[in-house]
Structure 1
Amino acid sequence: MSMDFLIILFSLLLWTLVATATATASSFSLHGKGFKHRKFSSSDNNYSIEETINESYAVIFDAGSTGSRVHVYRFNQQLDLLRIGHDLELFVKTKPGLSAYAENPEEAAESLVPLLEEAEAVIPQELHPRTPVKVGATAGLRQLEGDASNRILQAVSDMLKKRSTLKVEGDAVSVLSGNQEGAYQWVTINYLLGNLGKHYSKTVAVVDLGGGSVQMAYAISEEDAAKAPQVPDGVESYITEMFLRGKKYYLYVHSYLRYGLLAARAEVLKVSRDSENPCILSGFDGYYTYGGVQYKATAPPSGSSFSKCQNVVLEALHVNATCSYKDCTFGGIWNGGGGAGENNFFVASFFFEVADEAGFVDPNDANAIVRPVDFEDAAKVACSTELKDLKSVFPRVKDGDVPYICLDLVYQYTLLVDGFGIDPQQEITLVRQIQYQDSLVEAAWPLGSAIEAISSLPKFEKLMYFL
C-alpha cells in the first residue's frame, strides 16, 4: 500500500469524523435546553421561530371608570402562569381613566403610553411580534355621550399601531360588553382557584362591583340554561356558553350599568331629587359629581339614617320592579335560576375597598371571609355618626369618601341581600388577590381575557373559547 494512498485514506476518515461531530453538535443545539433561545432564519434546517417557542406573553389593558391598569401575563403551552421576575404578573395602574379625557382623545391615548412602556420592557424583544395586546374599556366609556367613546378608542388604536412593537389585531381596542367583563372575571377567579375543568357545581359565583357597573356570573346546569328567557334584539343574552379545560359551561351573566359603586351614588341621590338625602352624613352640604354631572348631596337636619337610607337605596335599585319570571334579582332581571354554582360567592373590587375603609377586613390581606350582615353592622354605625366625627370612628376612610360612607355601606348590604338574594348570614369571600402556586395574582377580568387571547395562538392549548 503506497504512502500516497494512506494519506488519502487518513484524510477521508478525518473528514468523516469532523462531519459527524458537527452534525451531533448541531442536533444538540436544536433539541437541547438552549433551543428556544436560538434565532433561526426560515432556511435554517426549515425551523422557524414559531416552532421553537413554548411560552407566550399577553398584555391586557383594563380601561376602567376610575383609572387605567395594565396586566402582563406569561404562560406555558398548557396555559399555566409562569413568573415574570419575582411575580406571576406585571400590574401597573394610573389615574384618571380614559373617560376623563372625553374632550381630548389623543391625551387619553397618551395616558396609556407609560403603562405600555413598562409592559414592553418585561417581554423579550424577539417575542414582541407574537405577543397579543388588548385594551378593554368598561363602564366609564360605555356611558360617554355622543361619539366621544369611539374617538377615544380610535386614538388608542392609532397610538398602539404607531408606538407599540406588540401584536395589534384589528379588534385589539374595544369597549367590553358587560357580559364579556362578567364572564372574564368568572374565568379569572375560577382559573386561579383551580376549578376550571371540574363540574359546574365545583365552581364559584362572582359578583364584581366596579365604579360604573356591577356584574354577576355563575355556572348553571344545561337544563336551567335551556329555561333562560329570550331577550329582545340588541340585548345581551343571559347565557354565555364557554369551553374551558375540556368542559362546556353554561354561564349565567348579567351586567347592571349605572350600579357600580360610584354610579350608584348618583342613582341614590337622584331619588331625593335635589332635596335632603338620608344617606348623606349630618354636617355635609355639597355636590357629588359623576360622569360630568353634579348631584345635590345634602344631609337632612336629623342626619343620616340607616333605615331611611335603605328605603332610598331600595327605590334606586328598583327592587319591586315587575318580575316576568319565576325569580328576579332587581330591576326585573332574571336571576339565573340559582343552583349549585351559586353556593359559594366571591365578591370583588369595591366591596373589599369599602370593607377596608369600614375597618372589618385587614387591608393587608389578599381576601377575607365576611357576611353581608358585616356591611349592615358597619352601616348602622356610620349612619349614626356626624361628618365631623367620622374619621375618629373610621380612620381608614378616604377623605373624598367621608360624606358617602353611610350610603356606600347601605348600598353594598342592600345590593347583596335584597338585590342578589344572598342570605345576610351567608359567608362570602371578599377578594382582591388569589394565591396561585406560591404568588398572589390580581383577581381581575384581564386574566380571563389573556387566557382567551393565548388560547387562539398556534401550539397553545385551547383552554378557553366562547361557543
Structure 2
Amino acid sequence: LTVHHEHSANMENLLPENLLLEVVPKVLPEVLLEVSHPVNLSRTFYGIMFDAGSTGTRIHIYTFIQKDPVELPVLDNEMYHAVKPGLSAYKDKPEEGGNTIRALLKVAKKTVPEDEWKQTPVVLKATAGLRLLPKEKANALLDEVREVFDESPFFVPNNSVSIMNGTNEGVLAWVTVNFLTGHLYAKTRKTVGILDLGGGSTQITFLPKSKKTVFTAPASYIANINMFNHTLQLYTHSYLGNGLVAARLATLGALGADGLDWKVFTSSCLPKKFREDWTFGGITYKVSGIPDGYAGYKLCYYEVMRVVKGIVHQPFEVKGSSIFYAFSYYFDRAVESGLIDGSRGGMVEVRDFKKRAKEVCNKMTKYRPISPFLCMDMTYITCLLKEGFGFKDNTMLQLAKKVNNVETSWALGATFDHFNNLNIH
C-alpha cells in the first residue's frame, strides 16, 4: 500500500489490472477513503510560456500546485519578464532574435528548480507580428528559436515553437481571465468577456447567453472548447491589422504602402507641427501632422472610421449588460490619458473613452509629451468599441493589467491548454 499511497494519482500505470482488483477489496472502508484522498498528494509543477508579440517578447514562468488530481490546479505564482522590440524586428537578423530568447531563458533557469528542468515544458507562441511577416522570414525566426530551445535544459514538446492562430489567442485569453477571476472553478454560466488590444491584432471573446448571437455570427466566429467534460461555445474573433499599432498605419494609409523612402504619411489625428520617422516591424515610415490644415477629434474620428467600419462584426448581444475585461493597449492608453490609475486599474464606461479622446485630441500640445499618437490611439479605441463591436455608451469595461497579481494575457490559458488539452476547434 505504500506504493498505492504515494502514487495514487497514477497508480494504474504501476499495477496490472488484475492486481488492482486483488488489492482493493481487502482494504477496510476507512482506509480506502484515506487512500483515495491521501494526506499529501499535492505536487508542484512548472510551465514556461513565451509570448512573441509584435512589439515585444515576454516570458511567463508559472508555478502550479495540483492539490487534487481531478480538479484544476492552483496557480501559485508567475514570474514575468519582457524585452523590446519584438521578434519581427529581427526579420533580417534571425540570430539576434534568437539571442533575446536565450537571455529570457536565463530568467527561467533562476526561477525553476534545477531538478525540475527536464520535465518543465518550454513553449513559444508568436502572434500578429509574425503573422504579418512574409512566410520565409517568419520561419527563419522560428527555426532560430527552435535551436535555442533544443540547446536549453528544459523539456521541448512537439510543436513547441509556432505562430498561434487568432482564434486561440482570444479563447486562451478568455480562459486566463476566467480562471484568475474564479469563474472556471465555479463551473457556472457566469463568466466575463475579454477584449484584448495588441499591436498587430485585436480579439473579442465571450460566452454567449443568447442563441441568436451564435446563429447570427459568421460560422468561424464560434469556437468550441472542452472544459469539465462538457463543451462551451464561445464567440471569438481576432482581427489582424486592427491592433493598435497596425491601425495607426492603416489610418495613415501606410499599411502595405510602397515608396516609403520619399512618402510622408499625414493625419489630422497628429499634432500639426509633428514630424518624425517611426518604425514598426522593422520598417520605417515618415509620419507628420498636417501643418497648414486642421487637427482634432472630429476629423480624426472620420479618418479612423475607415479602419473599423464594415470590418468588425457586431455580435448580437454586446448591446446587453455583460461585463468585459479589457487589457493590453486598452489599459495602457487609459492610464496614459489619465482615465484610470495605473497601479489599480478600474471600471470605466465606453463613453469615458470617448470623452477622454475628445479632450486629448482638442488639447494635443498638452498630451504631446506623453505621446504624439495619443489622440489617434484614444480615438481608435473609441471607434473600435462603438462603431466596431457596437458597444453601448454605458457598457462597463473592467480595465486590468493583472488579476490577482497575474498578467492578463493568453499565456496562462495556453500553458493550461498544454497541461489539460482544451481541444479548441
Normalised to the residue count of structure 2, the TM-score between the two structures is 0.82
Match of 2:116 among 127, 131, 135: 127
Answer yes or no: is 1:265 the counterpart of 2:258.
no
Match of 1:337 among 316, 341, 345: 316
Equivalent in the alignment of 1:278: 268
Gaps of 5+ in 2: 9-13, 15-40, 256-262
- Please say which of residues 402-411 and 119-128 is displaced more in the overlay: 119-128
Equivalent in the alignment of 1:354: 333
Question: Which one-letter code corresponds to 2:60 in the other structure?
Answer: H
- Contact kept? 1:64, 1:98, Cα under 8 Å: yes
Answer yes or no: is 1:92 the counterpart of 2:94.
no
Equivalent in the alignment of 1:315: 306
- Contact kept? 1:73, 1:81, Cα under 8 Å: no
Equivalent in the alignment of 2:362: 384
Match of 1:191 among 179, 198, 203: 179
- Contact kept? 1:279, 1:299, Cα under 8 Å: no
Equivalent in the alignment of 2:353: 375
1:150 to 1:60, Cα distance in 2 relative to 1, 3 A: same
Equivalent in the alignment of 1:448: 413
Match of 1:252 among 235, 241, 258: 235
Aligned positions of 1:121-160 closer than 5 A: 121-160=110-149
SS in 1 for 2:316: coil
Aligned-pair CA distance for 1:223 = 4.0
- Please say which of residues 66-75 and 237-246 is displaced more in the overlay: 237-246
Distance 2:112 2:248 in 1: 41
Equivalent in the alignment of 1:423: 392
- Contact kept? 1:67, 1:93, Cα under 8 Å: yes
Aligned-pair CA distance for 1:131 = 1.4
SS in 1 for 2:418: helix
Equivalent in the alignment of 2:382: 413
Aligned positions of 1:144-223 closer than 5 A: 144-162=133-151, 164-196=152-184, 201-220=189-208, 223=211
SS in 1 for 2:357: helix
Distance 2:380 2:291 in 1: 18
1:340 to 1:375, Cα distance in 2 relative to 1, 3 A: closer
Distance 2:286 2:207 in 1: 38
Question: Which one-letter code corresponds to 1:210 in the other structure?
Answer: G
What are the Cα deviations for residues 199-242 of structure 1, in whole angstroms up to 9, with x where unaligned?
674111111000111011111259457626666xxxxx211111
Count of aligned pairs between the two proteins: 382
Distance 1:56 1:284 in 2: 51
- Contact kept? 1:269, 1:297, Cα under 8 Å: no
1:73 to 1:360, Cα distance in 2 relative to 1, 3 A: same
Distance 1:341 1:179 in 2: 23
1:354 to 1:444, Cα distance in 2 relative to 1, 3 A: same
Aligned-pair CA distance for 1:146 = 4.2
What are the Cα deviations for residues 337-389 of structure 1, in whole angstroms up to 9, with x where unaligned?
32799711111100111111111211211x311112222222222212243x4
What are the Cα deviations for residues 132-189 of structure 1, in whole angstroms up to 9, with x where unaligned?
1110101111111241000100110111011x11111221000011111111101000
What are the Cα deviations for residues 111-137 of structure 1, in whole angstroms up to 9, with x where unaligned?
111211211222222222221111010
- Contact kept? 2:57, 2:86, Cα under 8 Å: yes
Aligned-pair CA distance for 1:298 = 2.2
Distance 1:228 1:381 in 2: 37
Distance 1:194 1:340 in 2: 25
Aligned-pair CA distance for 1:404 = 1.0
1:334 to 1:352, Cα distance in 2 relative to 1, 3 A: closer
Question: Which one-letter code corresponds to 1:204 in the other structure?
Answer: V
1:300 to 1:376, Cα distance in 2 relative to 1, 3 A: farther
- Contact kept? 1:281, 1:385, Cα under 8 Å: no
What are the Cα deviations for residues 369-417 of structure 1, in whole angstroms up to 9, with x where unaligned?
1112222222222212243x435xxx7x2xxxx2211111111111111
Answer yes or no: is 1:296 the counterpart of 2:254.
no
1:200 to 1:310, Cα distance in 2 relative to 1, 3 A: farther
**Identity in percent:** 31
- Contact kept? 2:101, 2:148, Cα under 8 Å: no
Distance 2:96 2:362 in 1: 43
Aligned-pair CA distance for 1:198 = 5.0
SS in 2 for 1:56: strand
Distance 1:359 1:265 in 2: 21
Aligned-pair CA distance for 1:423 = 1.2
Question: Which one-letter code corresponds to 1:416 in the other structure?
Answer: L
What are the Cα deviations for residues 289-320 of structure 1, in whole angstroms up to 9, with x where unaligned?
33315153223424421011101111122x1x
SS in 2 for 1:153: helix
SS in 2 for 1:466: coil
Question: Which one-letter code corresponds to 1:114 in the other structure?
Answer: A
Query: Which has more radius of gyration?
Result: 1
- Contact kept? 1:198, 1:247, Cα under 8 Å: no
- Contact kept? 1:270, 1:295, Cα under 8 Å: no
- Please say which of residues 416-425 and 297-306 is displaced more in the overlay: 297-306
- Contact kept? 2:214, 2:222, Cα under 8 Å: no
Distance 2:397 2:357 in 1: 18
1:215 to 1:63, Cα distance in 2 relative to 1, 3 A: same
What are the Cα deviations for residues 226-273 of structure 1, in whole angstroms up to 9, with x where unaligned?
626666xxxxx2111112234421011111111111111101111899
- Contact kept? 2:321, 2:395, Cα under 8 Å: no
